[in-house]
Amino acid sequence: MANISAVLYLVAAVLFILALKGLSSPVTALRGNKFGIIGMVIAVGTTFMIMDKPVLGLIAAAIIGGAVIGGWKAKTVEMTGMPELVAAMHSLVGLSAVLIAVAAIFHTGVEHTPVQKVELFIGAFIGAITFTASVIAYGKLSGRFGSKAVSFNGQHLLNLVLALAMVGFGVAYFVTDSHAAFLAMVAIALVLGVTLIIPIGGADMPVVVSMLNSYSGWAAAGIGFTLNNPVLIIAGACVGSSGAILSYIMCKAMNRSIVSVLLGGFGAEAAAGGAAADSGPKNYKSGSAEDAAFLMSNADSVVIVPGYGLAVSRAQHALQEFAELLHEKGVTVRYAIHPVAGRMPGHMNVLLAEAEVPYEQVLEMEEINSDFNNTDVVLVIGANDVVNPAAQKDKSSPIYGMPILEAHKARTVIVVKRSMSVGYAGLDNELFYMDKTMMVFGDAKKVVEDLVKGVVH
The answer to whether the CB of 134 falls within 8 A of the CB of 87 is yes
Residue 160 makes CB contacts below 8 A (sequence gap 6+) with none
Average pLDDT over residues 128-152: 83
- Checking if the pLDDT of 416 tops 80, the result is yes
Q: What is the mean pLDDT of residues 239-252?
A: 84
Specify whether the CB–CB gap between 290 and 322 falls below 8 A. no
Mean predicted confidence (pLDDT) in 434-446: 94
- The pLDDT value given to residue 209: 81
The average confidence (pLDDT) of the chain is 86
Residue that wins the pLDDT comparison between 345 and 310: 310
- The pLDDT of 148-176, averaged and rounded, is 89
Band (pLDDT 50/70/90 cuts) for residue 269 is very low
Lowest mean pLDDT segment, chosen from 65-69, 71-75, 183-187, 346-350: 346-350
Q: Is the pLDDT of residue 168 over 60?
A: yes
pLDDT category at 272 given cuts 50, 70, 90 is very low
- Residue 385 bears catalytic tag: yes
The pLDDT value given to residue 263: 57
Give the model's pLDDT for residue 271. 43
| Residue 304 scores a pLDDT above 50 | yes
Q: Which homologous superfamily does the CATH classification assign to the domain defined by 289-456?
A: TPP-binding domain (3.40.50.1220)
Higher-confidence position of 391 and 205: 391
Give per-residue pLDDT as tens, 74-87.
888 877 777 788 88
336, 363 contact by CB (below 8 A): yes
pLDDT at 262 over 60: no
Strand duo 332-337 + 362-364: pairing: parallel
Asked if residues 380 and 387 have their Cβ atoms less than 8 Å apart, the reply is: yes
CB 188 within 8 A of CB 169: yes
Domain range list for the chain = 1-74, 84-276, 289-456
424 pLDDT higher than 70: no
Active-site choice (385, 428, 443, 450)? 385
